[in-house]
RNA sequence: GGGCGGUUAGCUCAGCUGGUUAGAGCGCCACGUUGACAUCGUGGAGGUCACUGGUUCGAGUCCAGUAUCGCCCACCA
């Protein structure tokens, strides 16, 4: 019976040794709770420990988690577990986001099913409903995170709408307001008529749509028989026109500048004026100017003191300024206006025209630019230091190309519209006195009276853009503005790991807010992952119905399998496709690891291998070349893993570990171990020690990738350690490249013998005799004769290793490697002609090899300029090929046919 | 309009500072139950590294250009 020495963990794990095959449900059962209850998720309190902090991108509390969340959990948990094992005070702060506009929308849709709107409920009751929803979902999201194994510190869980972060929002608002960086202004903003709120530039997504360019004739007031033709893609906005602009040098219109036109339908008089901004080559060269509904025209109108005529109501219907069209929704107005213009013969021409139209990021409605009084953050002063830290590398990007993307955005930034006409979110902390008219910005949640005159105050009805509060996340979660111990110790954080799609929304804003409020950026590294797509490469979305539920995958294959698939499939900054076969093959790998340990454990327990608390000792005097080889390899892999993790190449590190376990440990070492365990007691001891050492090391290296499985397996090993997650991260011992090279010769010979057996058609189960002529490496081959015998299925009684030239007989198969010749007497099996063909193929390969090496070496530039070791490799290659050719040729010569 | 990325085996992707015969998983073919694993083993087939130039002794890797797919940014009405 295989049993665990760690009763506590064993009890929680329900693991009593390792079952015959890996069962994710069994393994993950209760393990997370045990970790959590043991306090392993909280940062190391040792004051000398270096903090390593990741602030989790708070998922929106608007739905279940999807595989995109599983990806960030996998990557962040990997980094956190790795640093925790390195002895750092690793802190991963979990949280959730109230998701302003998205959150409100979800609940609005829910009550719509009851036939209600938010106005039927009223603000207070509606907000109450949203809170209920969020409370319910919050727990669900937390459960899913736990299922995924996220080792975040739940005692520090934060929600954007909680009192602490909300207070931080008000303090920042007041700070920026007092500094003049937040202002209220009447400006042209993007308005979603469906959500009935202002949006920031980022919340407007531009889509190219096929439209038309309408050419409309505006008659001259002074001479209605003549007209100027303007071109527009949005004819309905003509209702708000207050001028027509032409280029100052445009000869066609130079005479008309200063005159006026009569606006069709409404008969308003419009001045004709000149401005450099007009492109004479586009359309008719004359542009209608609608200052209240077009960003360009807004600027133009300001320069030329034009009237701003707002034709829109908040809900997207046209107001009294639209004359006969008042009350109509703007989406219907285009057709109506065009129809009317046609009747009036004002339409001169209609062209096909493809152009970009802004849509609401959340609901997809066409966004209307409109003039409105809103709150803004003045960006220029905040952007400057945020540009500097990206340029000088204070904040690094992985992959680095996102630095440019970030800078391009920061350098062309516009002021940020932060007020939203919603009910769900942080209320703007501004109070207006009904008596004296004074405006007060308060950090308190409520203000009872006007601090100036004691009059009655009313709070601004609007709420803040949800990204305002997320932007403060790296310190609002640590108790700021109180100078808490957490804040002292854990700000700034280290790595910001998130999707590239929120680089501007979130990352950029955290940077400038962090510098402004805390005096330094909130992290030194931004690691950006890609989007998880479906098997077809399509983005997952609820409407497409191709969203994968991580908990379903987890239930079948386990969290580790999903995480390993996500981590090893991806590369920083690139999208990836996730398929079930990929998750399945990851699960298969875990099963392999599991079973390798089952094999190892038997030897370890039989030999009663002692292990210190933090793992077994490195075997001092390994008996065999295979031992030296695998011990060297595990150290090399340790070096590589460290190097790759340091360079944020997590996927590559995982793939490399998988490769090591499967190919080197299982296919070679364990296979070789099988025969050696039948050997002397000393040999058995060594094998068991090596297995213990390597397996224990592998569990630690893989723990950040496969937290559940490695813990379960590690607990089954006979040591006194408490948990692999708080064991020491491996640092490499010396490697032994001599052993690695020598074993390579042996394994190559074995592969070649197997290959020859297969080609000749020797049954797999059949043991055959062999003579190996090993020249200068004869000693190596002798030392591992039993391994060769077992792995190549050569009868050990009949295996002869000699440094004398082999004397192949008539029906022998001859296998030639760089370092050895194996002669396999296979009487009755060998077809001479086939054998000759086989050798002929080998000969051709060797000749090609020789030709290539010769070509390289006869190139004078190569020998002179290439580094010594590269040239040496070619020389060795040449002499090996020559030797091979000699041996094969000699053998071929004995075939008389 | 500007910027960025992908293009490597049938499929999904690695290939990190240029250096032997370009790798893995899945799929495919042929065998196969040795002290773990059929969620497996052994052997094998399969690639003009999108294309064209260039730099270099040497290019999948660096440079320039082309094609193609995709993404981001952008107030030409």
A763: the nucleotide nearest its CA (via C1') is B31
Beta-strand ranges (E) seen in A500-608 are 525-529, 532-533, 576-577
Lowest mean pLDDT among A3-12, A89-98, A204-213, A760-769: A3-12
Give exposure, A701-737, as e/b (b: 16+ Cβ within 10 Å): bbbbbbbbbbbbbbbbbbbebebbbbbebbebeebbe
Question: pLDDT band for position A707 (50/70/90)?
Answer: very high
Residue nearest to nucleotide B37 (CA to C1'): A595
* Nearest of A435, A411, A425 to residue A470 by alpha carbon: A425
Q: Does the pLDDT at position A627 exceed 50? A: yes
Q: Which pLDDT value is given to residue A617? A: 83
Instruction: Judge if the beta carbon of A217 is closer than 7 A to nucleic acid strand B.
Output: no
Total residue count of chain A as it appears in this document: 897
Q: Does the pLDDT at position A805 exceed 80? A: no
For chain A, the average pLDDT equals 92
pLDDT tens across A462-477, in order? 999 999 999 999 999 9
Question: pLDDT band for position A760 (50/70/90)?
Answer: confident
- Give the CA A662 to C1' B21 distance in Å: 23
pLDDT tens across A274-328, in order? 998 898 888 888 999 999 999 999 999 999 999 999 999 999 999 999 999 999 9
Query: What single DSSP character describes residue A422?
Result: -
Instruction: Judge if the beta carbon of A884 is closer than 7 A to nucleic acid strand B.
Output: no
CB A841 within 8 A of CB A755: no
Show the 3-state SS of A14-81.
CCCCCCCCCCHHHHHCCHHHHHHHCCCCCCCCCCCCCEEEEECCCCECCCCCCHHHHHHHHHHHHHHH
Q: Which pLDDT value is given to residue A13? A: 47
- Give the CA A885 to C1' B52 distance in Å: 39
Q: Which pLDDT value is given to residue A283? A: 84
CB A511 within 8 A of CB A389: yes
Q: Does the pLDDT at position A7 exceed 60? A: no
Place of tokens 């966004």: A367
What tokens were used for A308?
Answer: 């701003």
% of chain A at pLDDT higher than 70 = 98
Q: Which pLDDT value is given to residue A2? A: 33
Instruction: Give start and end residues of each alpha helix (H) in A400-557.
Output: 401-411, 466-470, 473-476, 485-490, 509-518, 550-557
Instruction: Judge if the beta carbon of A692 is closer than 7 A to nucleic acid strand B.
Output: no
- Give the CA A430 to C1' B75 distance in Å: 31
Beta strands A269-274; A260-262: pairing state: antiparallel
Beta-carbon-side half-sphere exposure of residue A200 (alpha carbons within 13 Å): 23
Instruction: Judge if the beta carbon of A351 is closer than 7 A to nucleic acid strand B.
Output: no
pLDDT tens across A735-755, in order? 999 999 999 999 999 999 999
- What is the mean pLDDT of the segment spanning A605-610? 88
What tokens were used for A694?
Answer: 């390597």
| Phi and psi, residue A774, nearest 5° | -115, 5
A846: the nucleotide nearest its CA (via C1') is B21
Q: Does the pLDDT at position A541 exceed 90? A: no
| DSSP reduced 3-state for A398 | strand
Other Cβ atoms closer than 10 A to A807: 9
CB A756 within 8 A of CB A820: no
- What is the mean pLDDT of the segment spanning A386-396? 95
pLDDT tens across A844-889, in order? 889 988 988 998 898 888 999 999 989 999 999 999 999 999 999 9
Question: pLDDT band for position A836 (50/70/90)?
Answer: confident
Q: Which pLDDT value is given to residue A5? A: 42
- Give the CA A259 to C1' B46 distance in Å: 77
Q: Does the pLDDT at position A615 exceed 90? A: no
A845: the nucleotide nearest its CA (via C1') is B21
**DSSP track, A487-508:** HHHH-S-SEEEEEGGGIIIIII
**Helices A100-113 and A123-147, axial angle in degrees (round to 10):** 110
| DSSP reduced 3-state for A611 | coil
A281-284 long-range contacts, CB within 8 A, separation 24+: A282/A231, A283/A213, A283/A215, A283/A230, A283/A231, A283/A232, A284/A215, A284/A228, A284/A229, A284/A230, A284/A231
Q: Is the pTM of this model over 0.90?
A: yes
- Cα(A321)–Cα(A339) distance, integer angstroms: 19
What tokens were used for A585?
Answer: 């093959």
Alpha-carbon separation of residue A430 from A173, A371, A462, A538 (angstroms): 9, 21, 10, 44
A605: the nucleotide nearest its CA (via C1') is B35
Question: pLDDT band for position A896 (50/70/90)?
Answer: low
Residues 700-759 (A) near nucleic chain B, CB < 7 A: 751, 754-755, 758-759
- What is the mean pLDDT of the segment spanning A401-415? 94
Lowest mean pLDDT among A313-322, A442-451, A588-597, A603-612: A603-612
A861: the nucleotide nearest its CA (via C1') is B57
| DSSP reduced 3-state for A354 | strand
pLDDT tens across A126-167, in order? 999 999 999 988 888 999 999 999 999 999 999 999 999 999
Other Cβ atoms closer than 10 A to A639: 15
Instruction: Judge if the beta carbon of A543 is closer than 7 A to nucleic acid strand B.
Output: no
- What is the mean pLDDT of the segment spanning A389-411? 94
- Cα(A465)–Cα(A848) distance, integer angstroms: 68
| Phi and psi, residue A397, nearest 5° | -115, 140
What tokens were used for A610?
Answer: 């002692």
- What is the mean pLDDT of the segment spanning A7-15? 45
Query: What single DSSP character describes residue A786?
Result: H
Q: Does the pLDDT at position A504 exceed 60? A: yes
Q: Does the pLDDT at position A10 exceed 70? A: no
Q: Does the pLDDT at position A17 exceed 80? A: no
Instruction: Judge if the beta carbon of A300 is closer than 7 A to nucleic acid strand B.
Output: no
Instruction: Judge if the beta carbon of A592 is closer than 7 A to nucleic acid strand B.
Output: yes
CB A82 within 8 A of CB A645: yes
What tokens were used for A532?
Answer: 């998880």
Alpha-carbon separation of residue A349 from A193, A227, A230, A283, A508 (angstroms): 30, 14, 10, 11, 45
Q: Does the pLDDT at position A4 exceed 50? A: no
pLDDT tens across A59-116, in order? 988 888 999 999 999 999 999 999 999 999 999 999 999 998 888 988 999 999 999 9
Give strand pairing partners of A794: A768
Q: Which pLDDT value is given to residue A610? A: 80
* Nearest of A150, A43, A51 to residue A95 by alpha carbon: A150
pLDDT tens across A807-828, in order? 777 778 899 998 899 999 887 7
First CA to last CA distance, chain A: 62
∠ CA A407-A411-A414, nearest 5°, is 125
| Nucleotides on chain B within 7 angstroms of protein Cβ | 3-6, 12-16, 19-21, 24-27, 30-44, 56-58, 72-77
pLDDT tens across A567-582, in order? 999 899 999 999 999 9
């Amino acid at each position: 019976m295989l049993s665990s020495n760690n009763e506590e963990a064993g009890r929680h794990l329900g693991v009593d040794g390792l079952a015959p095959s890996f069962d994710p449900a069994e393994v993950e059962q209760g393990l997370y709770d045990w970790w959590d209850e043991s306090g392993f998720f909280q940062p190391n309190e040792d004051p000398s420990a270096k903090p390593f902090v990741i602030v989790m991108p708070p998922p929106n509390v608007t739905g279940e988690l999807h595989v995109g969340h599983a990806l960030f959990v996998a990557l962040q948990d990997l980094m956190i577990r790795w640093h925790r094992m390195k002895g750092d005070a690793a802190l991963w702060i979990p949280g959730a986001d109230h998701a302003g506009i998205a959150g409100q929308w979800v609940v609005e849709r829910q009550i719509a099913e009851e036939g209600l709107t938010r106005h039927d409920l009223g603000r207070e009751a509606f907000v109450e409903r949203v809170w209920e929803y969020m409370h319910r979902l919050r727990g669900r999201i937390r459960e899913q995170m736990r299922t995924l194994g996220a080792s975040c510190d739940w005692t520090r869980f934060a929600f954007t709408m909680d009192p602490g972060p909300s207070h931080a929002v008000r303090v920042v608002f007041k700070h920026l307001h007092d500094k003049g960086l937040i202002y209220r202004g009447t400006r042209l903003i993007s308005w979603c008529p469906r959500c009935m709120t202002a949006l920031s530039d980022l919340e407007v997504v531009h889509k190219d749509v096929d439209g038309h360019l309408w050419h409309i004739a505006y008659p001259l007031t002074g001479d209605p028989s003549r007209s100027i033709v303007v071109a527009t893609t949005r004819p309905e906005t003509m209702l708000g026109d207050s001028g027509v602009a032409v280029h100052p040098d445009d000869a066609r219109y130079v005479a008309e500048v200063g005159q006026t036109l009569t606006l069709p339908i409404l008969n308003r008089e419009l001045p004709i004026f000149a401005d450099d901004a007009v492109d004479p080559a586009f359309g008719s060269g004359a542009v209608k100017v609608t200052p209240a509904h077009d960003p360009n025209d807004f600027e133009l109108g300001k320069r030329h003191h034009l009237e701003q005529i707002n034709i829109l109501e908040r809900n997207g219907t046209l107001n009294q300024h639209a004359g006969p069209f008042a009350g109509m929704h703007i989406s219907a107005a285009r057709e109506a206006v065009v129809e009317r213009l046609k009747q009036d013969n004002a339409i001169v021409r209609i062209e096909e025209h493809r152009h970009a139209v802004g849509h609401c990021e959340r609901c997809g409605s066409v966004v209307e630019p409109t003039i409105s009084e809103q709150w803004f953050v003045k960006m220029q002063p905040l952007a400057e230091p945020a540009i500097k830290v990206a340029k000088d590398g204070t904040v690094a990007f992985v992959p680095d190309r996102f630095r440019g993307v970030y800078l391009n955005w920061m350098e062309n930034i516009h002021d940020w519209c932060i007020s939203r006409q919603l009910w769900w979110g942080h209320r703007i902390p501004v109070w207006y006195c009904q008596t004296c008219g004074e405006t007060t910005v308060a950090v308190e949640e409520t203000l009872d009276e006007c601090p100036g005159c004691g009059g009655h105050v009313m709070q601004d009805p609007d709420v803040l853009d949800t990204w305002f509060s997320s932007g403060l996340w790296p310190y609002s979660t640590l108790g700021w503005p109180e100078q808490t111990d957490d804040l002292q110790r854990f700000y700034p954080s280290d790595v910001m790991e998130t999707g590239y799609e929120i680089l501007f929304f979130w990352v950029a804003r955290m940077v400038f807010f962090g510098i402004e409020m805390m005096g330094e950026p909130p992290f030194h590294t931004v690691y950006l992952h890609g989007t998880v797509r479906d098997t077809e490469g399509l983005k997952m979305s609820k409407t497409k119905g191709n969203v994968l539920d991580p908990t379903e995958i987890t239930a079948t294959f386990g969290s580790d399998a999903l995480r390993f698939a996500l981590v090893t499939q991806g590369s920083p900054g690139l999208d990836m496709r996730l398929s079930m076969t990929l998750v399945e093959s990851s699960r298969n790998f875990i099963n392999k690891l599991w079973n390798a340990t089952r094999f190892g454990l038997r030897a370890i327990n039989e030999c009663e291998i002692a292990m210190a608390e933090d793992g077994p000792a490195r075997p001092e005097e390994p008996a065999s070349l295979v031992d030296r080889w695998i011990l060297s390899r595990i150290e090399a892999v340790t070096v590589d893993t460290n190097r790759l993790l340091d360079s944020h190449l997590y996927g590559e590190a995982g793939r490399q570990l998988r490769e090591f376990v499967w190919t080197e440990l299982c296919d070679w070492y364990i296979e070789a171990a099988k025969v050696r365990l039948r050997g002397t007691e000393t040999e058995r001891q060594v094998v068991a020690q090596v297995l213990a050492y390597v397996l224990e090391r592998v569990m630690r290296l893989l723990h950040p990738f496969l937290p559940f499985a490695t813990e379960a397996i590690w607990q089954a090993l006979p040591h006194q350690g408490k948990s692999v997650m708080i064991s020491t991260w491996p640092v490499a011992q010396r490697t032994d490249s001599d052993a690695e090279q020598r074993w390579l010769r042996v394994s190559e010979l074995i592969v070649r013998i197997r290959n020859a057996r297969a080609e000749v058609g020797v049954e797999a189960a059949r043991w055959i005799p062999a003579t190996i002529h090993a020249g200068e490496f004869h000693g190596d081959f002798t030392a591992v004769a039993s391994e060769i015998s077992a792995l190549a299925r050569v009868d050990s009684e009949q295996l002869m290793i000699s440094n004398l030239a082999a004397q192949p007989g008539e029906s022998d198969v001859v296998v030639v490697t760089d370092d050895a010749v194996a002669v396999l007497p296979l009487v009755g099996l060998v077809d001479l002609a086939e054998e000759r063909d086989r050798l002929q193929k080998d000969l051709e390969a060797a000749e090609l090899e020789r030709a290539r090496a010769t070509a390289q070496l006869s190139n004078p530039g190569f020998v002179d300029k290439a580094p010594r070791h590269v040239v040496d490799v070619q020389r060795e290659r040449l002499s090996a090929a020559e030797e091979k050719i000699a041996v094969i040729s000699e053998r071929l010569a004995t075939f008389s046919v």
